[in-house]
Chains A and B, each alone.
Chain A
């Protein structure tokens, strides 16, 4: 029977990369391959420009217990075009000069607004299969870098409780998860895997290829309906 490293992912706020780069930063409803590999890399202390080859061989499955409610946050960035304000002495002065410019031009210079999407109150189970699982397990217990779901402002709200279990399939392995005390009775009905039977196949661009250039290739996700009710006590 193959061995799986299973762990719980819970957070009050999460953001799981959609296509980004412009003013709108979306989020998926579940963490993809790049999110899980990034978390394992952070635990191992692999820097952004480091060597990820040990992780590329891993197979990743994600069970969804709770996708959370959507939330949209925004940041304003008040840019001050040089056409409007030439060499201000300070930011307050720049903003004052901008007001005068807007009055003269009879039109406002709008701040840039960036929209960021989050999911509130998410809960997932991850099952990872491949080499060196024990090293990964102990790294998750005592990580090198912060672990978070998508953005640094999205800390984990429960212990990952990583454990290695032997099982026929990821859904059987995930039955050994430990859920956070306040969500002890949650159940997962959807499993996203990379192999095995599938009710449908989705395409998602979350297989990291070039981490310096931030390139991701597409990947086939096998989706199947499951019933996972972990009763795992820590």
Chain B
């Protein structure tokens, strides 16, 4: 049994193209047999990781995804006054723990062949071990892996979104946050913008035609976004640090409400904010509320946001009545009715970290 925090958000997007398919057009989906616009879960997670809530508020508790592990360690050793050749060999020995290395290039330390997601704790341990090796200590390769790689530590983004270490699945991290693809609550089709651009130096007399012609897809609508946090797993991934998990939950709540995938942002200037958030806390089986929009909200509704809010709350009530309460507690932020605030939602989410049972941790 785990504690889950579920987020349901309704966010209106202006004409925009935040997440593109292989043709450069907005991604789409069919829900309940009706066409919708869609944002992929990957694009949303990337946008969330790029917010100030993650970059600044969680500074020092974020992982780094990089191939330049040996180089970083070598720099560290050089600054400690370790001679160049032993710094290089100690750095490559330790970097091999994360991934295979590319062929050595004399001027620079070798890159790892794959991107590794490295936590702050692992950086520190890697540097410590490299110092010992440079000082002449003999270390067994298998032993080294255990000394450096961690099953759990203080990297919030790795704990939330998981990692895969291709060369040592034992140290993969299972994602504690599930993010669904967002889709519009109503029928929405991609529209085409046909445009032309003018050549400033061409005269009318010479040729009155356009200098360039093109076409771009866009769309607009109210998106339903669902995310679910397994709080027990989050705390576990963070080595039992509840305070850090709480800080992470707070950042996640704020990021989900304000982050947007950045495709064509300069062309469309979309900066949408969630108008409605329903956060739920409890240990019953999580479920999204996408069924509320299986039959799409009628486009003739005067107010798509309000109609979507009504549908979503109605379905949540129906499910509670039919199956028994699906969550222990619920908090709502509803812009339209002036109810609740994002700070309130964030505090409600963060509080869940205190409600998990004590994790056993080595």
Contacts and interface: CB of A to CB of B under 8 A. Distances in A.
B286 to A, nearest CB: 7
B358 interface: no
B22 interface: yes
B4 to A, nearest CB: 8
Q: Which 7 A-B pairs have the closest CB atoms?
A: A153-B41, A12-B290, A142-B1, A159-B323, A155-B288, A182-B294, A157-B290
Interface of A: 10, 12-13, 43, 45, 47-49, 69, 71, 73-76, 82, 87, 113, 120-121, 140-148, 152-161, 178, 180-183, 212, 233-234
B285 A181 contact: no
A60 B181 CA distance: 29
Nearest to A120: B30
A53 to B, nearest CB: 21
Contacts of B175: 152
Main secondary structure of the interface of A (DSSP, over half): loop
A74 B30 contact: no
B230 A146 contact: yes
Interface string B153-185: 000000000000000011000110011110100
B178 A153 contact: yes
A121 to B, nearest CB: 6
A234 B322 contact: yes
B226 A155 contact: yes
A120 B31 contact: yes
Nearest to B288: A155
Contact of A146 (B21, B286, B289, B290): B286
A55 to B, nearest CB: 18
Contacts of B31: 12, 120-121
B41 to A, nearest CB: 4
B250 interface: no
19 contacts: A10-B291, A12-B294, A43-B285, A73-B27, A87-B108, A121-B294, A142-B284, A144-B2, A145-B174, A148-B178, A152-B41, A153-B41, A155-B178, A157-B287, A157-B289, A158-B291, A159-B326, A178-B322, A181-B318
